[in-house]
Amino acid sequence: MKLHYYPGCTLKEKTTNLDESTYAAMKMLGYELVEPENWTCCGAEFPLNEEKIVGLAAPARILRQVEMEGGDKVVTACAFCFNVLKQTHIALLNDPLKQKRINAYLKDDIRIDPVTKERTTDFPEYRGDVQVLHLLEFIQKEIGYEKVRSLIRRDLGNLRAAPYYGCRLLRPKGETGIDEPDDPSIFEEFLESIGIGVVDFPFKQECCGSYLSVSLPDAASEVSYRILRSAKLNGADMVVLSCPLCYYNLDRRQDRIREKFLEFTGMPVLFFTQILAWALGVEAEILGLDQHFFDPRPVLGITDKAEVAS
């Protein structure tokens, strides 16, 4: 079955492991992912300033393209892209004036074929009918945990994973969240469905430090460390998440965390699509497991590959 999928820029550059594992897992679940043509960056941050309407142009264009291609929904694996697209969808749905302004602007789009130089103009209005779903939601609502359970090929029963939500999947409350921000369970349900042990830990909705990683890296690694330590103290073998920035702070920053907190010995951090694809029987080579700072292959029992790589 064909399904519109918006990957986002980070998944094509810094976290290709999230993109590739998403393709692999969804193929096993019977879906062929289709990227909307000519997609651009979604903006990464939803413009909170009401007047900064230009920030809605790019995400609205992406939604319009899905609509033009006959889609009624689009899924994302990146928590940031999900947040921006979903908030844009809601903003346009609830505010007819905003929708009118954006449509008036986007109508004048020009698209030029690089080979024939043929120009496409006079674009249709975006009607606002495209549903934005995070892949975790899509699995819950459209595929169903029973189906996932029936397709599991690898037994992960001896492993325990800590689901890390971060902020973007859940907030702002009542608008974009895929679950109740104060007491979410969708990630736990997902992990249960793939047969892995689930660890509950108090830091699962804490901020990872986000962009402080750029301006105040020490502050970011401190909060990231708290999250990883809490997961570890509660018996997790790995942290599972969906956000490329959380992944950066929790995995790639472990070098800095180790320098600062000597007792920290490291923790595998995986994207939910990687563990899903692995459980569904996808070969390890195409999951980008070699891109991680803390090698997750030993904990998954892929020891020989880990030796080859190191």
Partner 1 sequence: MSKIPVEVKDKSSKKKTGGPAGTEAMVPIFVMGKRYEVPASLTIQKALEYAGYQLVRGCGCRGGICGACGTVYRFPGSYRIEVGLACQTVVEPDMYITQIPFFPANKAVYDIEKLEPTGSTVAALYPEIFKCVGCGTCTRSCPMDIDVMEYISRAIRGDVAGAAELSFDCVMCGLCSARCPAEEAQYNIGILCRRLYGRHIAPRAKHVNKVVDLIEKGKFQKGLEKLKRMKMAELKKIYNEREIEPDMAEEYWEPEDKTFIIVE
Taking CB under 8 A as the rule, does residue 68 contact partner 1?
Answer: yes
Separation between Cα atoms, residue 310 and residue 308, nearest integer Å: 6
CB closer to partner 1, 117 vs 158: 117
CB closer to partner 1, 11 vs 28: 11
Would you give the DSSP letter of residue 77? S
Contact positions with partner 1 (CB under 8 A) in 140-199: none
CB closer to partner 1, 127 vs 149: 127
Taking CB under 8 A as the rule, does residue 209 contact partner 1?
Answer: no
Separation between Cα atoms, residue 8 and residue 28, nearest integer Å: 22
Separation between Cα atoms, residue 116 and residue 88, nearest integer Å: 33
Contact positions with partner 1 (CB under 8 A) in 37-56: 38-41, 43-44, 54-55
Q: Is the peptide bond before 172 cis (omega within 30 degrees of 0)?
A: yes
| Residue 166 φ/ψ region, left for φ over 0, alpha for ψ in the -120 to 50 degree band, beta for the rest | left
Taking CB under 8 A as the rule, does residue 109 contact partner 1?
Answer: yes
CA angle 12-72-11, nearest 5°? 10
Which of 122, 182, 263, 304 lies at the binding interface for partner 1 (CB under 8 A)? 122
Taking CB under 8 A as the rule, does residue 61 contact partner 1?
Answer: yes
- Give the C-alpha distances (Å, rounded to integers) separating 118 from 65, 76, 115, 291: 18, 31, 8, 40
Crossing angle (nearest 10°) for helices 272-279 and 186-193? 20
In this chain, which stretch among 22-30, 79-87, 120-128, 288-296 interacts with partner 1, using CB under 8 A?
120-128
In this chain, which stretch among 114-122, 165-173, 236-244, 286-294 interacts with partner 1, using CB under 8 A?
114-122
Is residue 30 within 8 Å of residue 97, measured between CB atoms? no
Which of 49, 116, 215, 310 lies at the binding interface for partner 1 (CB under 8 A)? 116
Measured from the CB of residue 117, what is the shortest distance to partner 1 in angstroms? Answer: 5
Instruction: Rounding to the nearest 10 degrees, give the CA dihedral for residues 138, 139, 142, 146.
Output: -170
Count of residues interacting with partner 1 (CB under 8 A): 34
Positions that interact with partner 1 (CB under 8 A): 8-9, 12-14, 38-41, 43-44, 54-55, 57-58, 61, 68, 105-106, 108-112, 114, 116-124
